Structure 1
Amino acid sequence: MRVTTKDGVGLHVEEAGQGTPILFIHEFGGNHESWEPQMRFFARRHRCVTYAARGYAPSGIPGSIENYSQSIAVDDALAVLDALGIEKAHVVGLSMGGFTTVHLGLNAPERALSLTVAGAGYGCEKEFEAYFRNVSLEVADNFEKQGAREFSKIYALGASRVQFQNKDPRGWQEFADRLATHSDTGAALTMRGVQARRPSFYDLEQGLRAMQVPTLVIVGDEDDHCLQPGIFLKKVIPACGLAVLPKTGHTLNLEEPAWFNALLAEFLAQVEAGRWAPRDPRALPGQIMRTK
């Protein structure tokens, strides 16, 4: 299916199954095919939807950086829901898609039944903020100059990707092969326009504290630059739970699909039963033991 955004970009959309909708939003290093283990599992009882973000074939690849931003990414997610006639969905995002999920919850909470934010946090830590923006621009240049086919060989072996390679060489190779097919232009402009310019979660604290959407945050314990941002989200979002997967890196849903699916299935079941509530006010963060 093809969906046209409000600025005229065509998005490739796929869906499977029937039931309460789930919208899956992919990471920078992946594409719509990265959600295949979840599309197959959750389509048994949900209407599962995923799409290729702008800049990722077979979706449109605009040639100007002005066509890429965090707010545009949210608009695109909403355009997909609108085109499919979906009023509300469980929204699940990994990394870049996790940021879009958070911003959708902030800007259009009425469209989200729940939010699952997985492996999201790069660039949020204030001490690494400048480094992240600079390295993002360097990565963009590398995609542009070397091309995805060559630079993917370096990018796929990042510090939080090798865990996947060690556990599941075939699965990691599929990920690396998909990465090598990325549009050179789309990858470069996505990195410059979305990744390098998006705000830190820490700058969104006021809005996050007011956001009432049930939220699950999932991080790998070896995805170092997502750990502290994940804890931050847990502390500030009222109805938020945090799951940390041991000996796990960034590509959570592919690296540990059974764990990921089980956590997500339980979360969705609790949300739909009305049992995923804000933190009990008696659970005071500063209290160690009660004395009276």
Structure 2
Amino acid sequence: MKYVINGVRYHVDTWGTGFPLLLLHGFTGNSEGWKEFAPFWKDHSKTIALDIIGHGDSESPPDIGHYQIEESAAVINSLLEKMGIGKIDVLGYSMGGRLALTFAVKYPEKVRMLILESASPGLRTEKERHDRRIQDTKLSKRIRQEGINNFIDYWEDIPLFQSQKSLPEKIRTRIRSERLANSIDGLANSLNGMGTGAQPSWWDELVQLEMPVLLITGELDQKFCRIAEEMSKILPNVQWKSIEDAGHAIHVEKPELFGTIVSGFLSQTEEINTKAAKIEE
């Protein structure tokens, strides 16, 4: 389905029945990557897979303002209003995890529960954010100068994704096809507008998030394991799962385990809510 919000067209796929679950992909990804989890979640969740601005079949406008992460969180809020949804579960991976967390910080009353895969609250200091913005600007220029194919060659070879090199060729080919389907403007503007350097730090806001939160990281991804460990000490209602023999993209490297963990977390919370409702009666 297509939704137009603030003059920008967004693509959304939905499937399954139950409590709504919003799925947010990572940088260079799209909503297609979530479809293999339909068998795991379709019986308890109505999944809503969004192509984030600049990705997939959503538009890639030239105005950087549309790509700001807080603006994208406001777009999600408008999307839920258009769909008649008052409260939702949110699952985000990497860039999509940062967007999911931003939405939870800005609209906590809209989030029943939050699942963050290899995600970060951002960089703590302005110096760190400034330095990261310089890096992201260089990357965005590289995309424009060298084109999508050369950039994806580079992107697939960074240390963050080394563990994916051992995946079957069929899976690696599918992921590469999804990445190559994006546009130069969309990826370049996403780095400048929604990159880690452009995002505000949400570290101080974590303590205010009262909804159940599940953090999922891969043991081979030491950077994001450290971040998750720090987050788990601050978030009031948190579980953290560290997955053996997995890197940054657990849902790609260990899909069956990932699907089962997420399903178990959602079902567990459903049971808790059901018991609480009975007690109130």
Q: Normalized against structure 2, the TM-score is what? A: 0.90
CA distance in 2, matches of 1:134, 1:168: 35
Q: Do 1:149 and 1:181's aligned partners in 2 also have CA atoms closer than 8 Å?
A: no
Q: Do 1:208 and 1:237's aligned partners in 2 also have CA atoms closer than 8 Å?
A: yes
Instruction: Give the structure 1 partner of residue 225 of structure 2.
Output: 227
CA distance in 1, matches of 2:4, 2:187: 20
Question: Which digits, 9 at most, give the CA deviation of each residue in 1:119-154, with x for residues without a partner?
Answer: 113963769655533322222111111111221111
- 1:34-113 to 2 correspondences below 5 Å: 34-113=33-112
Describe the shift of the 1:187–1:242 C-alpha distance in structure 2 as closer, same or farther (beyond 3 A).
same
The DSSP-based 3-state class of the residue aligned with 1:37 is helix
Q: Do 1:99 and 1:120's aligned partners in 2 also have CA atoms closer than 8 Å?
A: yes
Q: Normalized against structure 1, the TM-score is what? A: 0.87
Question: Which digits, 9 at most, give the CA deviation of each residue in 1:79-100, with x for residues without a partner?
Answer: 2222221111110000111011
Instruction: Give the structure 2 partner of residue 197 of structure 1.
Output: 198
* Pairwise CA RMSD: 1.9
Q: Do 1:160 and 1:222's aligned partners in 2 also have CA atoms closer than 8 Å?
A: no
Q: Do 1:123 and 1:132's aligned partners in 2 also have CA atoms closer than 8 Å?
A: no
The DSSP-based 3-state class of the residue aligned with 1:86 is coil
CA distance in 2, matches of 1:176, 1:69: 26
CA distance in 1, matches of 2:158, 2:246: 13
- 1:121-160 to 2 correspondences below 5 Å: 121=120, 124=123, 129=129, 131-160=131-160
CA distance in 2, matches of 1:66, 1:89: 26
Instruction: Give the structure 1 partner of residue 268 of structure 2.
Output: 270
Identity of aligned residues (%): 23
Instruction: Give the structure 2 partner of residue 28 of structure 1.
Output: 27
Are residues 1:187 and 2:187 paired?
yes
Instruction: Give the structure 1 partner of residue 278 of structure 2.
Output: none
Q: Which has the higher helix share?
A: 2
Which residues of structure 1 form unaligned runs of 5+?
276-292
CA distance in 2, matches of 1:231, 1:181: 35
Report the residue type matching 1:44 in the other structure. Answer: D
CA distance in 2, matches of 1:199, 1:69: 10
Match of 1:237 among 219, 235, 239: 235
